Amino acid sequence: MNIETELLDTQTEDQEGEATEAEALTPEEIADLKKRADVSSQNYERLKRAEAEKAELKRQLEEAQLGQDSFITEDDTAKRLRELDAKLARIEEKTQLDSIYSQYPSIKDKSAEFDEFRQEYHGVALDKVAKLFAVEKDMLDESPARKGLEKARGGKRTPPTQGNTSEDIARLRTTNYREYIKQIKAGKI
C-alpha cells in the first residue's frame, strides 16, 4: 500500500509542477503560443480546402472521361491545334491593326487599300508596312518640330523681383507711416 501512495504522491507533485510551469509563462510567450496555434489551424484549413478542390477536379475529370463516347485521335488533335493557331494569328493581327490604326488614324479610312498594299509586302512587320503606306500616300504630317527658348539652367535661384511686394508695403505702412506717404506721393507705390 505504501508503494501506491508514494506513486500517487509523485504523480500529484508532477501535476503541480506542470501547473507552476504554465503559470510561469510570460504574456509574450502565451501570445506566441496562441499565434502558433492560429497559424497551425489556418494551415489545416488550407489543406482541407486544397484536398476538397483536388477531389472536385478529380470528379470532374472522371465525368469528362465517362462522358466521351469516342477517343480523340492524333489527327483530331493536330486539326484542333491548327485551328487554335489560326485563331491566335487572327487575334494577334487584329491587335496589331488596332495599334496601327491608333497610331496612323488616316490609314483606317483607307483600310481596303492598306490591305491590298499589305499583301505586296508579305513577311514584313506590319508597323513598317503601315509607315511605308502612309509615306507613299502622303498621309504623314511631318512638320519640323519648333524649338522655343532654351531652358534656364541657372539652378533653383529665382530672379529678384522689381519693386516692393505687398508684404513690404504693409510692413512699411505699419512701421514707418511717413515714408509710406512719401512713396505714395512719389508714385513708387
Q: Residue 138 gets which letter from DSSP?
A: T
Share of the chain above pLDDT 70, in %: 76
User: How long, in residues, is the chain?
Assistant: 189
**Least confident span in 39-48, 109-118, 125-134, 155-164:** 155-164
Domain locations in the chain as residue ranges: 20-67, 76-136
Nearest to 107 by CA among 90, 125, 126: 126
Note the pLDDT of residue 98. 87
Q: What is the pLDDT of residues 51-82, one digit of tens each?
A: 888 888 888 888 777 655 456 677 888 888 99
Q: How far is the C-alpha of 114 from the C-alpha of 42, rounded, in Å?
A: 60
Helix, strand, coil shares, percent, the chain, to 5: 75, 0, 25
Note the pLDDT of residue 6. 52
Confidence tier at 19 by pLDDT (50, 70, 90)? very low
